[in-house]
Chains A and B, each alone.
Chain A
Amino acid sequence: MPSKKELLDLQFIDARHLLINLAAFLDRIDRHPGEDDHRLTALKAAIPVILENRPDRAKAVLEAMSDPSTDLPQSAPFQGATGAPPVDHALIPADR
């Protein structure tokens, strides 16, 4: 198993790149006209999770971006997924 130093040597530049891309995406959204939607709300609400002192941040972010509903509709109005919980559900995951 690699050490922290070895992992930083391997992956720090990639993590830095991902963080800057996320910051630039938020800047870009702010700069452009129109309304945002539930996807941006979900993204912003999940970002603080990555600074929490816990061993399962990836799991927690995924849970924050998941549909928390338990209802079972007969059929679906559309086939796709947006990547964020439906707008009528609270974002905060059950364990937080």
Chain B
Amino acid sequence: MKYIEPHAHMVSRTTDDYEKLALAGCEALCEPAFWAGFDRSSADGFYDYFRQLTEYEPKRAAKYGIRHYSWLCINPKEADDPGFAREVMSIIPQFLDSPTVLGIGEIGLNKNTRNELTIFEEHVQLALDRDLPILIHTPHLEDKLKGTRLILDSLASFSKLDRGKVIIDHVEEHTIAHVLDAGYWAGMTLYPESKCTPNRAIDMLEIYGHERLWVNSACDWGHSDPLAVPKCALEMKRRKYNPAMIDQIIYQNPREFLSQSAKFAAHHPLP
């Protein structure tokens, strides 16, 4: 079995996890820029983080035969201070031509504030200006439904946006239809406690079909499982999905979306 892990925060994981991913069949993974678990004190902290994402992690992954790609932004949790957020955003363009940067993400909302929304829209415009795909984070827990609606309303105001180049991540049963009905891709994140379990993700595949959907582990420094995607594949097998259908969800679908970036190719040479 081969698969693509489309959302993993490997800067928070050990090298042992790369080995586990490789043994499970992971051929490529994508790492969106995110919150480090604490607020960084300066834009320089982000400069170092973007170097880690674009220079160090691809090499670390390559040691295990895994292609590593990244998405850049200032995450919504640190975007509630527009002045600081714009300072960070000013350094993003110098990294966008890196051979492994696919697009802008994971942008979005956290507590659904006007400040967060302003910075979200400035990121969307940056992606539009450079014709880049966008990966969007939807808020946690009680804030997800309201935040998803706000994000969809905001995106609707960008008349030139190609909705097929936007994935809205961390959908659950109460948000997935909003996202798919509006023409966007949707990501289901498999977490041990919050977001979505493998069985709930498979339920949503049964209800909403198999198009414009992917599953990811979003493994990070918190309670998460870097092997969540292959475990979901195992659960699909237990629920009588045939190998072709499993392959579509864990490999072909992410490949289809990610290939909209010219930099992504399934057989891209390892760095």
With A2-B239, A74-B115, A76-B80 as known contacts, state yes or no: A62 contacts B145, CB within 8 Å.
yes
Q: Which of B110, B115, B141, B203 has the most CB of A within 10 A?
A: B141
In the complex the two chains form, is B142's CB within 8 Å of A73's CB?
no
In the complex the two chains form, is A81's CB within 8 Å of B145's CB?
no
**Residues in B neighbouring A11, C-beta threshold 8 A:** 199
In the complex the two chains form, is B111's CB within 8 Å of A76's CB?
yes
**Residues in B neighbouring A74, C-beta threshold 8 A:** 113-115
In the complex the two chains form, is B240's CB within 8 Å of A63's CB?
no
**Residues in A neighbouring B7, C-beta threshold 8 A:** none
Q: Taking chain A's interface residues, is the majority helix, strand, or loop, or is none over half, making it mixed? A: loop
In the complex the two chains form, is A63's CB within 8 Å of B145's CB?
yes
Min CB–CB distance A49 → chain B (angstroms)? 12
A:1-50 near B, CB below 8 Å? 1-2, 7, 10-11
Q: Which of A62, A63, A85 has the most CB of B within 10 A?
A: A62
For chain A, the bracket of interface size reads 20 to 34
**Residues in B neighbouring A1, C-beta threshold 8 A:** 206, 239-240
In the complex the two chains form, is A79's CB within 8 Å of B146's CB?
no
Number of A-B contacts defined by CB within 8 Å: 83
A70-96 interface code vs B (CB 8 A; 1 in, 0 out):
101111101111111110000000000
Cα of A79 to Cα of B110 in the assembled complex, Å:
7
Cα of A1 to Cα of B143 in the assembled complex, Å:
34
Cα of A86 to Cα of B206 in the assembled complex, Å:
33
In the complex the two chains form, is B240's CB within 8 Å of A2's CB?
yes
Q: Which of B77, B113, B200, B203 has the most CB of A within 10 A?
A: B113
In the complex the two chains form, is B240's CB within 8 Å of A65's CB?
no
Cα of A70 to Cα of B112 in the assembled complex, Å:
10
With A58-B173, A59-B174 as known contacts, state yes or no: A72 contacts B142, CB within 8 Å.
no
Min CB–CB distance B155 → chain A (angstroms)? 16
Tell yes or no: A56 within 8 A of B by CB: yes
Min CB–CB distance A83 → chain B (angstroms)? 4
Min CB–CB distance B147 → chain A (angstroms)? 9
| 29 A-B residue pairs with CB within 8 Å | A2-B240, A11-B199, A56-B173, A58-B200, A62-B172, A65-B142, A66-B144, A67-B142, A67-B143, A67-B146, A68-B146, A70-B146, A72-B114, A72-B150, A73-B114, A74-B113, A75-B80, A75-B115, A76-B110, A76-B111, A76-B112, A76-B113, A78-B111, A79-B80, A79-B111, A81-B111, A81-B141, A83-B141, A84-B141
